[in-house]
Amino acid sequence: MLKNSNPTQTNAWKALQKHFAEVKDRHTLSLFEKDAARADKFSIQWHDFYVDYSKNRIDEETMKLLVQLADECHLKNAIEKYFGGDLINNTEKRAVLHTALRAPENSVVNVDGKNVMPEVAAVKHKIKQFSEEVISGKRKGYSGKAFTDVVNIGIGGSDLGPAMVTEALKFYKNHLNVHFISNVDGDHVLETIKHLNPETTLIVIVSKTFTTLETLSNALTVKEWFLKSGNEKDIAKHFVAVSTNLQEIDKFGIDPDNVFPMWDWVGGRFSLWSAVGLSIALSVGYDNFDKLLKGAHAMDEHFRTAPFANNIPVVLALLSVWYNNFYGAESQAIIPYTQYLHRLAAYLQQGIMESNGKQTDRDGNPIPYQTGVIIWGEPGTNSQHAFFQLIHQGTKLIPTDFIGFKHSLHGNTDHHNKLMANFFAQTEALLKGKTEAEVRKEMGDKVNEALVPFKVFTGNRPTTSFLIDKLTPESLGSLIAMYEHKIFVEGVIWNIYSYDQWGVELGKQLASKILKDIAATEISAHDSSTTNLLKQFKK
């Protein structure tokens, strides 16, 4: 169990409030002008990651107090419990051990007194063997043809992780076409399968619980589609499942040899490192999947051992607390400067918002301070031409992560220089802004007075820059693990349980009730708005 502490009652929080009152209106540019070493002071070099957080509204005192806050919230102890397999997901009485999935095979990780590493290794071995057989064409469909297409059916953590990573690692992919079906919208499934050949299609059903309405409905629809071509006995060659619920998989008719187990100590939104990542291994090969795990493990080690002031996930989480709880910033933007990461923000929306969108503290009390942050973003430079206006001149404070790479994958230097010039220019513009004097100077002799106020940018918009050598399976693994640990640290400080998700249950329960109403002649009791909507729908 984590040690509970109300962050607002710590000495650090009180000191931060006082400090905030003193510095809140200070322009970060003035700090750069005073201190030539600022960029070096507030940056971390770790392997091929350079993280520059100097363009944030902080000084040495801010960081000292934030680290003190982490100490007073028992972060060190919490990290040990997290990696040590304590039941830190207390409302579900589960350990949180996605880190074990990427730990070296000879390490020992105990859950309920049992070392889980041999089981983890066995499943990895199965993923390796299976994916290699499919990729090489050794494993074939029922008519003797090699597979050409893979369809991943899952939702939430059983979709977003593999979908984001297969897109991110597209450069490394093989000949298999990988498709993702998540939404219970029939148009999604039917549109996806309409051009597929069942004889050469492998279906991977991913559901931790194997009870999720969306996934089971999609799986049944795909099974019907398949049976128009193959027979019941052919299902064994074409359908595989990833789940903790072996009983339900059996009922669905999947061959026990085609089952990839997972464990309740892996949260859905942190599960891409398990057999949930089977589609990743199929898409880019097991060796690349393994490199992804190795990159994540390297970040785990950094997080576990680096002093807080020099610890990337800790610093990111502390900055997040600073903006969320002191500046009242409600959202954060995540802008990758590579098209390959176009699903990163969607993936992190689940990771961050499903984890830390909580209103009850670990003692069961309502929380009087802000928790979970709203996450959004799209790749640069597209986002610059879409919503950056609001980040530059809007009335809201939006701390923004810029993620870029020193080298592109296809090696077009001209494009890459233009892309990265935009990255650097945006962070500089967000910091500096443009003063009235600068606007006037720019206008020269003919100052258009009416236009002056519109052309002023206040600047002082916080950004954190991540400059990584290259988008590889390893660096992607490290990047994802970095955000996972940031989520953990925020949850520890906010005194919440980050690994349950009770909030999504209510909608699911009501949907099954309403589904009956749609089929029935009488509509059961709802509020008048829902009743009217149902009547209109059924007309």
Q: Clarify whether 385 is annotated catalytic.
A: yes
Cβ closer to ligand F6P: 123 or 391? Answer: 123
**CB-nearer residue toward ligand F6P: 332 or 501:** 501
Listed ranges 16-24, 151-159, 193-201, 438-446: which one lies at the site for ligand F6P (CB under 6 A):
151-159
Q: Give the range of 104-112, 179-187, 206-214, 287-295 binding ligand F6P by CB under 6 A.
A: 206-214
Q: 208, 291, 302, 343: which one contacts ligand F6P (CB under 6 A)?
A: 208
Q: Which stretch binds ligand F6P (CB under 6 A): 204-212, 312-320, 369-377, 378-386?
A: 204-212
Distance in Å, CB of 59 to ligand F6P, minimum: 39
Q: 52: which strand partners?
A: 43, 465
What would the x/- binding string for ligand F6P be over residues 386 to 425, using CB under 6 A? Answer: ----------------------------------------
Binding of ligand F6P by 501 (CB under 6 A)? yes
- Among 215, 218, 383, 464, indicate the residue that binds ligand F6P (CB under 6 A): 215
Active-site residue, selected from the candidate residues 508, 513, 516, 538: 508
Q: How far is the CB of 245 from ligand F6P (least distance, A)?
A: 8
Six-digit token string for 316: 């990111």
Amino acid at 366: P
Smaller CB separation from ligand F6P, 174 or 209 = 209
Of 201-209, 362-370, 416-424, 478-486, which segment contacts ligand F6P by CB under 6 A? 201-209
| Region near ligand F6P per CB under 6 A, out of 24-32, 135-143, 154-162, 223-231 | 154-162
Return the residue of 209, 339, 370, 530 that touches ligand F6P, per CB under 6 A.
Answer: 209
Residue 375 Cβ vs ligand F6P, minimum distance, rounded to whole Å: 16
User: What residues does 402 pair with on adjacent strands?
Assistant: 335, 465
* Cα separation, 454 vs 250, whole angstroms: 65
Task: Tell me the two tokens of residue 411.
Answer: 């090696």
Comparing CB distances to ligand F6P, the nearer of 63 and 219 is: 219
Task: Give the range of 45-53, 69-77, 175-183, 203-211 binding ligand F6P by CB under 6 A.
Answer: 203-211
156 binds ligand F6P (CB under 6 A): yes
Tokens 């984890």 locate to 355
Q: Is residue 98 a contact point for ligand F6P (CB under 6 A)?
A: no
Which tokens go with 497? 């349980």
Cα 114 from Cα 265, distance rounded (Å): 13
Which residues, including other chains, have CB under 8 Å from residue 417's CB and lie 6 or more apart?
A: none
Residue 313: which of 479, 168, 468 has the closest Cα?
Answer: 479
What is d(CA 152, CA 149) in angstroms, rounded to the nearest whole number? 10
| Min separation Cβ 101 and ligand F6P, Å | 15
Identified binder of ligand F6P from the candidate list 155, 278, 481, 489, rule CB under 6 A: 155
Helix (H) or strand (E) holding 473: helix 473-494
Q: Is 207 in the site for ligand F6P (CB under 6 A)?
A: yes
Q: Phi-psi bin for 467: left (phi > 0), alpha (psi -120 to 50), beta?
A: beta
Nearer to ligand F6P, 231 or 509 (CB): 509
Beta bridge partners of 240: 204
Nearer to ligand F6P, 161 or 285 (CB): 161
Within 249-288, the residues that bind ligand F6P by CB under 6 A are: 268-269
Nearest one of 103, 160, 111, 123 to 296, comparing CA atoms: 103
Rounded Cα distance between 12 and 100, Å, is 33
**In angstroms, what is the minimal distance from the CB of 161 to ligand F6P?**
9
Residue 230 or 357: the one with the smaller Cβ distance to ligand F6P is 357
Distance (Å, whole) CA 391 – CA 112: 48
Angle between helices 60-72 and 312-321 (to 10 degrees): 100
What residues contact 293, with CB distance under 8 A and at least 6 apart? Answer: 101, 102, 273, 477
Q: Is 158 in the site for ligand F6P (CB under 6 A)?
A: yes
> Of 167, 214, 354, 490, which residue is the catalytic one?
354
| 132 a catalytic residue | no
Binding flag, residue 504, ligand F6P (CB under 6 A) = yes
- For ligand F6P, the closer of residues 41 and 508 by Cβ is 508
Pairing type for strands 201-206 and 177-181 reads: unpaired
Q: Which residue type occupies 29? A: L
Of 195, 385, 446, 539, the catalytic one is 385
Amino acid at 347: Y
DSSP class of residue 332 equals E
Please, which of residues 351-390 interact with ligand F6P by CB under 6 A?
Answer: 354
| Overall size of the chain counted in residues | 539
* DSSP character string of 372-430: --EEE---TTGGGGTTHHHHHHSSS---EEEEEESS-SS--HHHHHHHHHHHHHHHHHH
Decide whether 157 or 372 has the Cβ nearer to ligand F6P. 157
Classify burial at 531, counting beta carbons within 10 Å of its beta carbon; exposed 0-12, middle 13-18, buried 19 or more: middle
Binding-site size for ligand F6P (CB under 6 A) equals 14
In this chain, which of 157, 404, 462, 473 binds ligand F6P, going by CB under 6 A? 157
Per the CB < 8 A criterion, the answer to whether 510 and 525 are in contact is no
Tokens of 205: 């059903």
Query: What are the DSSP calls for 231-290, one per residue?
Result: -GGGHHHHEEEEES-HHHHHHHT--GGGEEE--TTS-GGG-TTTGGGHHHHHHH-HHHHH
Q: How far is the CB of 269 from ligand F6P (least distance, A)?
A: 5
The CB-of-212 to ligand F6P minimum distance in angstroms stands at 3
Closest to ligand F6P by CB, 350 or 400: 350
What residues act catalytically?
Answer: 354, 385, 508
Footprint on this chain of ligand F6P (rule: CB under 6 A):
155-158, 207-209, 212, 215, 268-269, 354, 501, 504
